[in-house]
Amino acid sequence: MSKIQLRCKIWLEKDGEVVLSDWRVELLEAIDRLGSLRAAAAELQVPYRTAWKKLQETESRLGERLVDAEPGGAEGGRSRLTAAGRAWVRRYRDTVEDIPAKLENRFAETSLEVT
Amino acid sequence: MSKIQLRCKIWLEKDGEVVLSDWRVELLEAIDRLGSLRAAAAELQVPYRTAWKKLQETESRLGERLVDAEPGGAEGGRSRLTAAGRAWVRRYRDTVEDIPAKLENRFAETSLEVT
């Protein structure tokens, strides 16, 4: 007997195209934390090319640079979020916050009344 | 300049298949209110066959009858939700409730801090 599960998907879109989602925000956070898009891609277990494409897409749809690389070294410097990148990540996190957990709880709490 | 919008999709699933969603719950509510699957399909502007298929699917995935037709007349009697159908609709509505509006508000409220 398999379980019935509540699912919830939240995202930002513009002209019907995804701008930010859990996954894209995780990518931005990983870039900032690890200082590199390549390391972020590895952590999220996607090809570098995929991560790069998603980042380009997100920046182009928002019309803002979200990630900056500091100059330095042969392979370029540390990558980090721009002020705009940081603001979008915060806005997304502040919006979504506890909603998935709240939905799960409500769904679990109502189960007794049904059966 | 098109707007960035928050989107939110909530559904119940079992074995990776949709069991209930906003649309399916609206279908159940329309059947109960109008007393007929045919009238509900017309109201939701889908072919009767589509509405019928979705209802069968939902009942089969939940393993419960959600709609009953009272006997009577040449075309059968009034369709209405079973106790189980009513309980699932209520559970879904009680779970989802104000969440989409809450997300919209949070997203709108945080916009000032970003720009």
**Dihedral angle sign, alpha carbons of residues A61, A66, A69, A75:** negative
Per the domain annotation, does B48 fall within a domain? yes
Q: Which CATH number characterizes residue A80's domain?
A: 1.10.10.10
B59-89 confidence digits (pLDDT tens):
999 999 999 987 766 666 799 999 999 999 9
B11 touches B21 (CB < 8 A): yes
pLDDT at B111: 74
Other beta carbons less than 10 A from residue B26's beta carbon: 14
Other beta carbons less than 10 A from residue B63's beta carbon: 10
Per the domain annotation, does A8 fall within a domain? no
Chain centroid offset of residue A30 CA? 9
- Residue A33 token pair: 């934390």
Per the domain annotation, does B78 fall within a domain? yes
Per the domain annotation, does A4 fall within a domain? no
Burial, B10: exposed, middle or buried (Cβ in 10 Å; 0-12, 13-18, 19+)? buried
Q: Which domain holds residue B92?
A: 13-114
Rounded mean pLDDT, B10-25: 96
Interface membership of B106 toward A (CB under 8 Å): yes
Q: How many residues does chain B have?
A: 115
* Cβ within 8 Å of B, A 22-81: 62
- For residue A14, the cross-strand partners are A17, B4
Per the domain annotation, does A102 fall within a domain? yes
Per the domain annotation, does A29 fall within a domain? yes
Do the chains contact at A5 and B12, CB–CB below 8 Å? yes
- Say how far apart CA A24 and CA A19 lie, in whole Å: 8
- Say how far apart CA A90 and CA A95 lie, in whole Å: 8
Per the domain annotation, does A6 fall within a domain? no
Phi, psi of A64 (to 5 degrees): -145, 150
pLDDT at A114: 46
Do the chains contact at B5 and A14, CB–CB below 8 Å? yes
Q: How confident is the model at residue B7 (pLDDT cuts 50, 70, 90)?
A: very high
**C-alpha distances out from residue B18 to A26, A114, B91, Å:** 26, 19, 16
CB pairs under 8 A between A and B: 93
Structural domain tally of chain A? 1
Do the chains contact at B103 and A95, CB–CB below 8 Å? yes
State what percent of residues in chain B have pLDDT above 90.
Answer: 83
